[in-house]
């Protein structure tokens, strides 16, 4: 690093540092925004279910079978 920088180079360095700091602050704010993360995750899950609904169907069938099993067991008791 040179000992003497011209004022224009210093301004450029300061501007670059500000941009990097702004990017860092944006990234930290995005990580802290739990509501937005949950929304993004829900939308991602919906899109995945639209592309391949089989796991959702299997889960529904399993849930229905469990409910029927529990109801029958409760009636026997």
Tokens 């829900």, residue? Answer: 42
Provide the pLDDT for residue 2. Answer: 54
Tokens 């990017």, residue? Answer: 23
The tens place of each residue's pLDDT in the chain, 77 residues long, gives 555 779 999 999 999 999 999 999 999 999 999 999 999 999 999 999 899 999 989 999 999 999 999 999 998 87
Residue 20's Cβ-side half-sphere holds a number of Cα atoms within 13 Å equal to: 6
This model's pTM is above 0.85: no
């Amino acid at each position: 690093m040179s000992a003497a920088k011209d004022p224009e180079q210093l301004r450029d360095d300061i501007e670059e540092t500000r941009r990097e700091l702004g990017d860092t602050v944006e990234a930290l704010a995005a990580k802290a925004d739990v509501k937005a993360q949950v929304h993004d995750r829900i939308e991602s899950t919906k899109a995945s279910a639209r592309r391949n609904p089989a796991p959702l169907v299997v889960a529904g069938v399993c849930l229905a079978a469990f409910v029927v099993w529990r109801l029958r067991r409760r009636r026997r008791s």
